[in-house]
């Protein structure tokens, strides 16, 4: 799939990070949709059917693990790749996320926005 034609959904409640990722994805020519919480993210996943979801885990309303559980239980969106985007301890988040169906774990503090754009682009090239 051409990454420039893909719909990528970022589910993130930190507005500073949202603005930073929005800018980096825009500069890269990628279509980034934004949901600022778990409930909004779940609604957008079902409505927009993005090609890939970047999902924060710790959010105030509905955490990313619950979003992932509900998403994977819905046959209309269960096959959408999900990358967990978080700062939780790698082992804890990675194990639970993979068990729930996440494809990849990306630690925000260890990856620059440019690296995250590259990771997403590489994955979309394989769809």
Q: Where are the alpha helices (DSSP H) in 8-89?
A: 15-27, 38-48, 64-72
Residue 127, domain member (yes or no): no
Whether residue 115 has pLDDT greater than 70: yes
What's the confidence (pLDDT) of residue 45?
98
Q: Which domain holds residue 65?
A: 3-121
Q: Are 113 and 24 in contact (CB under 8 A)?
A: yes
Residue 103, domain member (yes or no): yes
pTM of the model: 0.93
Residue 29, domain member (yes or no): yes
Query: Which phi and psi (to 5°) does residue 25 adopt?
Result: -70, -40
What's the confidence (pLDDT) of residue 93?
65
Residue 54, domain member (yes or no): yes
Residue 126, domain member (yes or no): no
What's the confidence (pLDDT) of residue 127?
77
Residue 89, domain member (yes or no): yes
Residue 46, domain member (yes or no): yes
What's the confidence (pLDDT) of residue 90?
61
- Mean pLDDT, rounded, of the chain: 92
Structural domain count, the chain? 1
Average pLDDT of the segment spanning 4-18:
94
Total residue count of the chain as it appears in this document: 127
Q: Are 47 and 76 in contact (CB under 8 A)?
A: no
Rounded Cα gap, residues 113 and 67, in angstroms? 23
Rounded Cα gap, residues 54 and 56, in angstroms? 7
Whether residue 36 has pLDDT greater than 90: yes
- Looking at mean pLDDT, say which of 66-70, 93-97, 99-103 comes out highest: 66-70
Rounded Cα gap, residues 33 and 53, in angstroms? 9
Residue 8, domain member (yes or no): yes
Sheet strands (E) in the chain: 7-11, 31-35, 52-55, 82-86, 104-107
SS3 state at 11: strand
Per residue in 40-94, pLDDT (tens digit) is: 999 999 999 999 999 999 998 999 999 999 999 999 999 999 999 887 766 666 6
What's the confidence (pLDDT) of residue 1?
86
Instruction: Give the CATH number for residue 42.
Output: 3.40.50.2300
What's the confidence (pLDDT) of residue 11?
97
């Amino acid at each position: 799939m051409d990454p420039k034609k893909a719909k990528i959904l970022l589910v993130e409640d930190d507005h500073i990070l949202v603005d930073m990722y929005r800018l980096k994805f825009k500069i890269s020519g990628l279509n980034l949709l934004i949901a600022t919480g778990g409930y909004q993210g779940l609604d957008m996943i079902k409505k927009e059917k993005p090609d890939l979801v970047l999902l924060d885990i710790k959010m105030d309303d509905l955490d990313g693990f619950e979003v992932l559980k509900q998403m994977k239980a819905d046959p209309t969106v269960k096959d959408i790749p999900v990358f967990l985007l978080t700062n939780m301890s790698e082992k804890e988040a990675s194990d639970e996320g993979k068990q729930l169906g996440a494809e990849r774990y990306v630690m925000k503090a260890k990856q620059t926005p440019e690296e995250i754009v590259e990771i997403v682009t590489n994955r979309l090239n394989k769809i």
